[in-house]
């Protein structure tokens, strides 16, 4: 909301607002082209090209989860801010010191954090009220049975949380989430709908395929809200799917991710037999807690 207001009321023409991931994809494309056509360091000409006719560059959701971005950000942004004079305004779910936490070769990223503290004003908005709760008032978080009504309610939640125009629903953006260890730029997960920290997944995509804890942690770190559809009742023949579902919910819970779901049954009736059904009881407990207003009011991220 604040970024919407800032960009809309900034009375200059030389301004640009872009999602951070889209911007970094553009940067990599520019660097690749510069390396093919020129010799020498590609960072200065790329920074100059980005800064052309640009006084203010605004990002939604700055987050760094791969080493390729981390390796170039310090030099690129120093060139943009200190040499090209571009003003940077960004939002993030993390304070600067927590960006790319535990990432591969993070020592190369630390100058970027230092740059933020030197050149940007850091404002914490950890107020006592999570205003997203006002937007989702009256919408149940666990919807059963699955069907058109549940789909409509989840769709309503998505559009309320993202301010996306309902009439433009056919053009909701998607993304590719990097799942590589340390953000190495290899394995990815296709997210069919992803906007402003809200992601939509099917149970089949997240739990019906061979995935591990690292994949679910990547999802939990990236998105503050997950909308999960198509959760079936799982019999003994779906013990692998049930185990992955347990791991998924653990990751979402530990990172205080808001969960909206369409399921074939209530949590306690999803998996009543088969290997691991006793352990599934903890997941049932967590699913009930995740539907509470107290949980929904928690900030995104781990407690530490």
pLDDT in tens, the chain (304 residues): 788 889 999 999 999 998 787 788 899 999 999 988 877 899 999 999 999 999 999 987 787 877 888 889 999 999 999 999 999 999 887 789 988 877 888 888 999 999 999 999 999 887 666 666 666 666 789 999 999 999 999 998 998 888 888 888 888 889 989 886 544 456 889 999 999 899 999 999 999 999 988 899 999 989 999 999 999 999 999 999 999 999 999 999 989 999 999 999 999 999 988 777 778 988 999 999 999 888 887 878 765 5
For the chain, the structural domain boundaries read 2-119, 132-296
pLDDT of residue 182: 45
pLDDT of residue 163: 83
DSSP character at residue 299: P
- Angle, CA of 32, 38 and 41, to the nearest 5°: 75
Q: Is the peptide bond before 102 cis (omega within 30 degrees of 0)?
A: no
pLDDT of residue 93: 73
Dihedral (CA of 240, 241, 242, 247) sign: positive
Per DSSP, what are the bridge partners of residue 176?
Answer: 190
d(CA 128, CA 120): 25
Residue 231 and residue 261 in contact, taking contact as beta carbons nearer than 8 Å:
yes
- Angle, CA of 186, 189 and 193, to the nearest 5°: 140
Dihedral (CA of 61, 65, 66, 67) sign: positive
């Amino acid at each position: 909301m604040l970024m919407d207001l800032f960009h809309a009321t900034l009375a200059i023409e030389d301004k640009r607002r872009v999602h951070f991931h889209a911007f970094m994809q553009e940067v990599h494309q520019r660097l690749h082209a510069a390396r093919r056509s020129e010799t020498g360091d590609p960072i200065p000409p790329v920074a100059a090209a980005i800064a052309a006719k640009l006084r203010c560059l605004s990002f939604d959701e700055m987050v760094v989860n791969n080493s390729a971005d981390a390796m170039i950000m310090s030099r690129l942004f120093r060139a943009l801010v200190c040499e090209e004079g571009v003003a940077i305004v960004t939002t993030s779910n993390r304070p600067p010191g927590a960006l790319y936490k535990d990432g591969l070769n993070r020592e190369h990223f630390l100058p970027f954090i230092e740059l933020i503290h030197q050149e940007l004003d850091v404002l914490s908005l950890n107020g006592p009220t999570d205003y997203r709760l006002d937007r989702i008032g009256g919408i149940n978080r666990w919807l059963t049975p699955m069907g058109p009504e549940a789909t409509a309610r989840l769709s309503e939640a998505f559009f309320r949380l993202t301010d996306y125009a309902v009439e433009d629903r056919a053009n909701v953006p998607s993304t590719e989430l990097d799942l590589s260890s340390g953000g190495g730029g290899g394995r990815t997960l296709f997210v069919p709908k992803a906007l402003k920290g809200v992601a939509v997944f099917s149970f089949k995509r997240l739990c019906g395929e061979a995935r591990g804890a690292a994949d679910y942690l990547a999802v939990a770190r990236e998105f503050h809200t997950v909308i999960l559809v198509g959760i079936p009742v799982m019999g003994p023949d779906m013990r692998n799917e049930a185990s992955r579902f347990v791991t998924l919910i653990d990751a979402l819970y530990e990172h205080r991710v808001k969960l909206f779901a369409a399921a074939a049954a209530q949590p306690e009736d999803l998996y009543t037999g088969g290997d691991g059904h006793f352990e599934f009881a903890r997941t049932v407990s967590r699913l009930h807690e995740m539907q509470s207003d107290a949980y929904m009011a928690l900030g995104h991220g781990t407690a530490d």
